[in-house]
Every structure is written in C-alpha cells, then in structure tokens.
Chains A and B, each alone.
Chain A
Amino acid sequence: MIPLGFLLIPFGVAAAAVLGYGFLVMFALYRFGGTFSSFAATFLFWAGCAGALFFAWYALAGVDWTQPLLDSSSFFSAPTL
C-alpha cells in the first residue's frame, strides 16, 4: 500500500528545483546587475515562493498522510446491489 504522503515527494522535488533555479537566477542578477530593481524582484520572488509554500502548508493542515493513496478495495470486493 502506498501512503498518501507519497505525493509529497514529487512536490518536494519540484519545489526544490524551483528554489534552486531561483537561487541561480538571483546569483546571475547580482553577478551582472545588482541594483535596487534586481533586489526588489528578488524580494518578490522569495516572497512569492514563501506565499505559495505557506498556502500549501495551511491548506494541508490536518490531512492524514498515512491513508492509502489509491483505494483499490472496489476491485477486491464482491459487487453489491
């Protein structure tokens, strides 16, 4: 049985990829630019990421991650009328 918490793995990978690439963009901006507008855009980016992660964390409060991801019981039980 695969638990529902399995869904957190692709989410974590995608979030890590976004944050990693964002870090590289930030580095490029400061390496070749580094003015107030690049600082403001960087702030907006990290604030947006924090907002999205907070939204996910807030909306997922109280979820039972140990319940099965797929409910296959209907395949193994006799049909009922």
Chain B
Amino acid sequence: MHFPFLVKIHDGAAEEPRMFMRKHAAILLGTSLLFLLLAAAPFLASFMLPEAVASWLGHPRLGPAVVLLVGVFELFVVLLWYGAFMDWYLDIWVVTNERIVDVDQNGVFGRSVSELQLSKVQDVKTEQKGVFATVFGYGTIRVQSAGEKENFVFDGLPRPNEVARQIVELVQADQRWHREALAEQIKGVK
C-alpha cells in the first residue's frame, strides 16, 4: 500500500505513517458469507422445490429464460461481493506523526480523503458494542477535534483500545513538539 497523500512537515522532513488500519477481517467475512448464501439461493431452491424447478427448466421457452436469469443473478452477486471487498480494502485510516488521514472509497469513482491534525485532537473515544464486536475484538473510534470540523469516526476497527492509546501518545508527542517549537520561536524574538 502506498500513501500518495503524505506531506512534508517539521522543517522539511516527511511525515511518517505510524499506524495503518482498515476494518476487521471478520466484517468482510460476514459480508462474504451473506453473498455466498445469496449465490447459493437458486441452487438451494432447486433442492427444496425439485418438481417445480424441473417443470420450469423442462419448458421449451421458460427453461432457457430461467437459466439466463439465474446466470445474470449469479454474475451480479459476484460483482456486488467484489465491490464490497473493494470498499473494505480501500477504506483506510492512516495515523502519521502529524495527522490522521481517513480515506473513504465510495464505489469505483468516489474517493474522499480527509485529515485531522494531531495538534487539534481533543478527545479519543472508543466503543465496543454487540456480541460479534466483543468476540472478534473490533469497535468504533471517535476522535474529537478542537475546531468545528466533524468528528473522525472509524467503525469496525480491530483492537480499538490499543489504537486509541497509540493515538493519544502520538497526540501528546505532537503537541509537545508544537509547544517546544513555539517556545523556541518566542526565545528567538526576544
């Protein structure tokens, strides 16, 4: 994975990615199981209603139409799963030593990148709700900023408490750096 959005900070040094996250694999697995069930539905129906399906397929005109319809249905199920995988794969959160970058993929043609400076972070909140979230260890992180910007929210993140702790440490380090830089600046003016 490459990060084309990284910028130069702190006297020309490039910011360093410290954490790279996407939703927990269990979320993709759950979605995949759902699509698998959808793909299997016509075949399950043929097992459950063998006589009806045999009479449809035996019909000289209805039979080919049903087969073509099922073929298109299967193609769309596979495509929707592939799209869901792309959304899972390309929706990422990158925490650098300067910013939090949230990359949102919306279909093939929609991609938004938003950022939050660590120096503006006020509060980091984690939330784990539900059986699956508890069993698989994923949850939601909300990062509240000092400005009027919307909160940064990331759902389905693995090990949210650990991630929140690391974000808080990075925020403290960054804010310390900014305070020291400001102090140096004031000294220089005097």
Binding site for B on A (CB under 8 A): 4, 7-8, 11, 14-15, 18-19, 21-22, 24-25, 27-29, 32-35, 37-38, 41-42, 44-45, 48-49, 51-53, 55-56, 59-60, 63-65, 67, 69-71
Main secondary structure on A side of the interface with B: helix
- Chain A nearest Cβ from B59, distance in angstroms: 11
Please, which residues of chain B bring their CB within 8 A of the CB of A71? 61
Query: Among A14, A37, A49, A60, which residue has its beta carbon within 8 angstroms of that of B67?
Result: A60
Binding site for A on B (CB under 8 A): 1, 39, 57, 60-61, 63-65, 67-68, 70-72, 74-76, 78-79, 81-83, 85-86, 89-90, 105, 108, 111
Please, which residues of chain A bring their CB within 8 A of the CB of B71? 11, 15, 52-53, 55-56
B68–A11 touching, CB < 8 Å:
yes
A11–B60 CA distance with the chains assembled, in angstroms: 18
- Chain B nearest Cβ from A71, distance in angstroms: 7
A69–B63 CA distance with the chains assembled, in angstroms: 12
The chain B residue sitting closest to A45, CB to CB, is B82
- Chain B nearest Cβ from A21, distance in angstroms: 6
The chain B residue sitting closest to A64, CB to CB, is B60
A37–B90 CA distance with the chains assembled, in angstroms: 12
A10–B128 CA distance with the chains assembled, in angstroms: 46
